[in-house]
Copies of this chain bind each other. A is one copy, B any other.
Amino acid sequence: MASINANYLKLKAGYLFPEIARRVRTFTEEHPDLAPRIIRCGIGDVTEPLPSAVREAMHAAVDEQGDRSTFKGYGPEQGYEFLRQAIVENQYADLSISADEVFISDGSKCDTGNILDIFGPGNRIAITDPVYPVYVDTNVMVGNTGEADSKGAYEGLLYLPCTAENGFVADLPTEKVDLIYLCFPNNPTGTVATREQLKGWVDYALAHDAIILFDAAYEAFIQDPEIPHSIFEIEGARDCCIEFRSFSKNGGFTGVRCAYVVIPKTVTGSTPDGTRIPLHQLWSRRHSTKFNGASYPVQKGAAAVFSPEGKEQVAALIQHYMGNAALLREACQTAGLQVFGGENAPYVWVSCPDGVSSWEMFDKMLGEAQVVITPGAGFGAAGEGYFRISAFNSRENVEEVCRRLARVFG
């Protein structure tokens, strides 16, 4: 009899986005007349075309595959040098990151989930709340938690509430933890951490021999020059941090798939007998054994994000989405709602009116405005009473969403 991984059975209901899809499907079936009016500001998926610099590079790479002299079979599992080098030069200049500390993958969702492969049991894990559900669910799946309580919080995880009171930057834990998930600019709240706040986290990690898993998938949206884009801008981070980045949201790669992890060779964990082992060595081994490299045409496309044309086109995309975010912020404020985020991130985080739960708000926005938002409670207990509006959309749709917000709350 083959035993299954029974930890999976602890997972609550569906993953957030499938549940949203289910409710939208039900609404569509019940109101076919209103279905064409639906505007999706739920899942954080980009909507605008892939930059032409990227497409041209992908076309050229596909053509290379048509000639045996330029055909590429298995590539390096950790990624092509041309891309690792381009990332270091363009994203980590002056931050002492070397190309072989960058690991190319097919997505940050995979990376942030798979990273648990290299950690052992018994780690005390801190997760901000609200949070990207993948961090929590993958910890459940590997057995790092007990069961969930009635609010969906899992036994064994240390939840760090992010609220309006702390500006959605979690307070440092008052106890010792071993792994800490941080995400800035934050998904879902759209808020950022200052250099001083990040310094506090790095100092905490160094003092407690903890590892910070830093998700910087949205760094390209930072407008404020004082806000760090990388945790490696903070002194000491090379000894305690792993950073996740993606081409999904800057280059529009959600359908094309490319991301990367940066693991400095100086970050170590410990064996049961106290021997220090570089995490770089473990992740490299994992890539060699369980991954065969990201698609070659995709890696070529990703490298084109750093070409002069690519940079210009990505900047225009960011400007477009951040223009949307500004409009959404304003519309929510005009509607009398309290608004956070959306100034250095493509997400606007909004307080529900008094007494309205976040799933009620979801149903109201879908039913009355045919606008799909994401209920804050889907991101954790501390997200209750909030909803997220994504700025990933056309300007036309965003303007229409703003008009509908005015009608619903007018």
Interface on A for B, CB 8 Å cutoff? 1-6, 8-9, 11, 14-15, 18, 43, 45-50, 52, 55, 58-59, 62-63, 65-68, 71-75, 106-107, 109-110, 113-114, 117-123, 133-134, 137-138, 141, 178-179, 209-211, 252, 254-257, 269-272, 277, 279, 282, 285-286, 288-298, 394
Chain B residues with CB below 8 A from A49, complex form: 65-68, 71
Best-buried of A4, A47, A118, A290 by chain B (most CB within 10 Å) = A4
Task: Pick the contact of A74: B45, B66, B134, B282 (CB < 8 A).
Answer: B45
Given contacts A73-B46, A141-B289, contact A4 B277 (CB under 8 A): yes
B123 and A2 form a contact (CB under 8 A): yes
CB distance from A48 to the nearest CB of B (A): 6
Q: How far is the CA of A292 from the CA of B45 in the complex (A)?
A: 12
B62 and A62 form a contact (CB under 8 A): yes
B4 and A122 form a contact (CB under 8 A): no
A267 to B, closest residue via Cβ: B2
Q: How far is the CA of A5 from the CA of B123 in the complex (A)?
A: 11
Q: How far is the CA of A45 from the CA of B74 in the complex (A)?
A: 7
Task: Pick the contact of A119: B5, B114, B269 (CB < 8 A).
Answer: B5
**Which 4 A-B residue pairings sit nearest by Cβ, starting from the closest?**
A3-B120, A113-B290, A4-B269, A45-B73
Chain B residues with CB below 8 A from A68, complex form: 47-49, 394
A179 and B71 form a contact (CB under 8 A): no
A71 and B255 form a contact (CB under 8 A): yes
Task: Pick the contact of A209: B2, B106, B252 (CB < 8 A).
Answer: B2
Chain B residues with CB below 8 A from A73, complex form: 45-47, 252, 254-255
Sample of 13 A–B contacts (CB below 8 Å): A1-B269, A3-B269, A3-B272, A11-B285, A15-B289, A65-B256, A71-B255, A72-B255, A106-B257, A106-B292, A109-B290, A110-B290, A254-B292
